[in-house]
Amino acid sequence: MRPGTTGSPQRGGPRQPSAAAAAAMAGAVDLAAVKARSEAAARAAEAPPPSSADVVIDVTEATFQSAVLDRSFQVPVLLDLWADWCEPCKQLSPILEKLATEGGGAWVLAKIDVEANPRLQQALQVQSIPTVFAVIGGQLVPGFQGAIPEAQAREFVKAVLDAGAQAGLSGAVPADGAVPADRAEPATADEAPEDPRFAAAEEALEAGQYDLAAQRYQAIIDAEPGNSEAKLALGQVTLLQRLESVDQGAVARADTSPDDVEAQLAAADLALAGNDVQGAFDRLLATVGRLAGDDRDRVRERLVEYFDLLGPDDPRVPAARRALARALF
């Protein structure tokens, strides 16, 4: 069973992830779970980069994994969600297609017809169209809704490319179409096998045994303090542990009791799990400005945890870090 899915409960067996936990695993925190992200990155390393002829593509549910998630480990992918009946879509799509063509393979425009792919629209929680997202290294980054002028679209594309560069994406294929030397040979069976320590931790995670998964990821970190993959995985598991016991009434309590730290932290976790990253940031930034002492430190630490989960390539993180610094100093 893959992370973020549920199965039939067995008597005496491991507990299954809650709905909130599953949402966290499929939402903003990790569009693909740690294992799936590693597999996608490996497939991207084996595949040739996009050519200038592949910069605008139509994507379906069947091709989303390879055309969007896998490709996003090479270059940023912009998602353009549209429909034939949508007039603003007819204004925005030509602008994005023009910019993608100008980019020459530095990024890919993936067009999704929501009428033909309703499950993708639902999975991406799209309420209106046109809607644009970016996907960078398997991470979904919210963009904007509605038609915007070309100048604004260029600014958004530039920000996405900057974030992609910070994430170390490889970029466009050379003009002659040659595959770089480091990608000329496909992966072979002689490559190192999967780390059994991660396999054991992921097995516990897939079974919903979050405490055991956390222990196993922590053991990797204790042995290798610089292991960033284990640190990211441990942060995700920690969030899932909290979501298992979160009270769905926390949001209402937080809204009526601004100084209730526990309620504010729980409500922020729920917002993050529901893909409302900015809502989680705004809630805790407002809270940290009202508090002092240990309570203030707890809220600050939760925000820093969110920053680490999302990663420095997420364009929302730098702004939130600056807002936190202003609130604290």
* 118: helix, strand or coil: helix
**Which of 15, 156, 2 is closest to 78 using CA atoms?**
156
Burial class (CB in 10 A: 0-12, 13-18, 19+), 65: middle
Beta carbons within 10 angstroms of residue 258's beta carbon: 14
DSSP state of 202: H
Q: Is 191 a catalytic residue?
A: no
Q: Of 28, 33, 55, 86, which one is the catalytic site residue?
A: 86
Q: Strand 108-113 to strand 139-145: parallel, antiparallel, or no bridges (unpaired)?
A: unpaired
Q: Is 72 a catalytic residue?
A: no
Q: Of 24, 56, 75, 89, which one is the catalytic site residue?
A: 89
Q: Give the amino acid at 275.
A: N
Dihedral in degrees, nearest 10, Cα atoms 114, 119, 120, 125: 90
Q: Residue 266 contacts by C-beta under 8 Å, 6 or more apart in sequence? A: 242, 246, 247, 250, 251, 254
Beta carbons within 10 angstroms of residue 3's beta carbon: 24
* 160: helix, strand or coil: helix
Tell me the catalytic residues: 86, 89
